[in-house]
Chains A and B, each alone.
Chain A
Amino acid sequence: MKKILLVDDSPTVLASMRQVLERANYAVEASVSPEVALAKIGSGYNPDLVITDLNMPGMNGIEFIAAARRLPPCRFIPILVLTTESGQAHRDKAKIAGATGWLVKPVAPEKLFEVLRQVLV
């Protein structure tokens, strides 16, 4: 079973995505902050994929991606940004930080699964 780490400051978004992904047979870990997510990875959690929000209090999604990429478990896995932002400037920053792809909210489950199939090969 593939392991997915979700990072979003909205507990409702996390809960709904967890529900949908677990029904599709993914093992989901959810973090309401990038700091908590980094601590999880630092303490030995090895996700197969990370999906992160961008606009979060404290550390933002781009800073999180850059920090996660420095940790061995996240060096080569896909990291997707799931955000309300669609501006090119933010996309470029995320790409430089190490993001694998960019999804604009709201994203329908079918679309999300299609992307997961592409990046989780």
Chain B
Amino acid sequence: MTEVRHPQGMVVAPEVAATFALAIGSYSRSLQGQAAAVAAMSEKVTTGWIEGVSDVLRALDKLRQPVPDPACAVDLQARVTEIAGEIELRLTSLMAEVQRQDMVRQMMDSISGMATAIGDLDLAELVTSTEAALHPRRIVEATEAGFVMDTQREAVQAQPASATGAAPDLELF
């Protein structure tokens, strides 16, 4: 069997090396899943803003179109009110995009926490036992146990959203 050596020269027991390989694999998959969730959410936010701006511009274009009878002030007022209402509704709906953007921030905080935790590991200690070699897996478990949004949790667990039995978006107790 090939001897596994720690960079500082010490020999690492095969079971410890195997445990570490599995744990770091779990960490890596979790990080990849979370990064993918961030990318998907960022794209959704950008798309939301672009669609919102496009809708508002389309509504403004309607204001520029000639009115059938400019002499009829009531019709004109009704038309302006209707288009202004459309614009207002679309602009206020962008509140949801701000919330999605905040979700991206929280996801990035979680990724940052995981990266910091792996950076803080003591390499010499990692090879002393299988328990110590499990540290990267413990980081993933700690992330899952904390306040991690569900989108993120799904990425951590590498599970499709439909498999989690999603609860309703609105519930009054």
Contact = CB atoms under 8 A, between A and B. Distances in A.
Interface residues of A, number: 37
Contact of B170 (A17, A23, A104, A109): A104
Nearest to A103: B170
A109 B92 contact: yes
Most buried by B among A99, A104, A107: A104
Given A91-B171, A108-B93, A109-B93, 10 more contacts: A15-B98, A16-B98, A16-B99, A55-B106, A85-B147, A91-B167, A104-B170, A105-B103, A107-B169, A109-B96
Contact of A86 (B93, B99, B106, B169): B169
Contact of A84 (B88, B95, B97, B150): B150
A100 B102 contact: no
Given A55-B147, A84-B150, A87-B167, A102 B173 contact: yes
Contact of B172 (A23, A109, A118): A118
A84 B106 CA distance: 9
Contacts of B56: none
A106 interface: yes
A55 B153 CA distance: 14
A105 B170 contact: no
6 contacts: A55-B106, A84-B102, A84-B151, A85-B149, A101-B170, A102-B171
Contact of B147 (A54, A100, A115): A54
Given A106-B97, A106-B100, A109-B93, A100 B150 contact: no
Interface string A87-98: 110110001000
Interface of A: 8, 10, 12-13, 15-17, 19-20, 23, 54-55, 60, 83-88, 90-91, 95, 99-109, 111, 115, 118-119
Contacts of B73: none
Contacts of B101: 12
Contact of A20 (B92, B167, B169, B173): B92
A17 B95 contact: yes
Contact of A111 (B100, B103, B170, B173): B170
Contacts of A119: 172
Contact of B95 (A16, A60, A86): A16
A13 B171 contact: no
B150 A99 contact: no
Nearest to B98: A16
Contacts of A85: 147, 149-150
Nearest to A24: B92
A1 B76 CA distance: 32
